[in-house]
């Protein structure tokens, strides 16, 4: 094993992300790993989901990683911050990580622009190597896991197939007002 993979931080956003990360890690040798889930705080505004609900989702994601990785040297940690990338950097500093290991997440550049692109921040603002593992297809032959909020077809299929509604208008949050084309 190289020194690069001796102590790694694994940011995990959801159970689908944990599943994709576990598949990507399969066959690679790592030393100590710290899986980090960041509960993004709203910075003074009311949070969209309750803290307990988000903590439970993080624990589910960690359980998926643990079940796939077996007896690997894996610790887990939930962090709370208004900036997800900063929280991951702080975890990497405290863990004395040799690298941050991520898997690609879907989503159009438009969605990433609107929501902030954590992956871009991880790559451009870091003081340590970032290893991007390739997305590995799901064993059932389906597409790689998608973030259920990325607006892609696999994401829509992962949910109930409907677009998320904007809380204020009830309209599709992904509706750009243009016409649909086939």
Q: Where are the domains of the chain?
A: 7-132
- What CATH number labels 7-132? 3.40.50.620
pLDDT at 117: 77
pLDDT at 3: 87
pLDDT at 136: 75
Q: Mind giving me the DSSP string for 35-85?
A: EEEEEE--TTSPPSS-HHHHHHHHHHHHHHHHHHHTTS-EEEEEEEES-HH
Q: CA 130 to CA 7: how far, in whole Å?
A: 12
Query: Residue with structure tokens 């059932």?
Result: 140
* pLDDT by 10-residue block (mean), the chain, 182 residues: 88 92 89 94 68 92 94 95 93 97 71 62 87 78 47 40 43 42 41
Strand partners, 84: none
pLDDT at 57: 94
pLDDT at 47: 61
Task: Reduce the DSSP state of residue 137 to 3 states and report it.
Answer: coil
pLDDT at 12: 94
pLDDT at 1: 61
pLDDT at 141: 59
Strand partners, 102: 132
Q: CA 38 to CA 100: how far, in whole Å?
A: 14
Q: Max alpha carbon distance in the chain (Å)?
A: 53
Q: Which two tokens stand for residue 28?
A: 């690679």
Helical segments of the chain, H only: 15-25, 51-69, 84-95, 109-115, 118-124, 153-158
């Amino acid at each position: 094993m190289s020194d690069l993979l001796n102590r790694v931080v694994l940011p995990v956003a959801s159970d689908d992300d944990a599943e994709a990360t576990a598949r990507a890690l399969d066959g690679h040798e790592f030393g100590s790993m710290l899986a980090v889930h960041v509960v993004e705080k709203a910075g003074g505004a009311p949070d969209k989901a309750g803290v307990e609900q988000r903590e439970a989702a993080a624990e589910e994601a960690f359980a998926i990683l643990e079940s796939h990785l077996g007896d690997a040297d894996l610790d887990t940690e939930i962090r709370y911050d208004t900036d997800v990338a900063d929280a991951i950097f702080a975890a990497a500093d405290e863990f004395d990580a040799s690298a941050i290991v991520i898997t690609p997440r879907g989503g159009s550049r438009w969605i990433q622009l609107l929501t902030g692109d954590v992956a871009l921040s991880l790559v451009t603002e870091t003081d340590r190597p970032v290893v991007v593992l390739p997305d590995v297809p799901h064993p059932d032959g389906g597409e790689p896991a998608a973030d259920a909020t990325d607006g892609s077809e696999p994401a829509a299929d992962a949910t109930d197939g409907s677009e998320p509604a904007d809380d204020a208008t009830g309209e599709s949050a992904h509706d750009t007002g243009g016409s649909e084309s086939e």
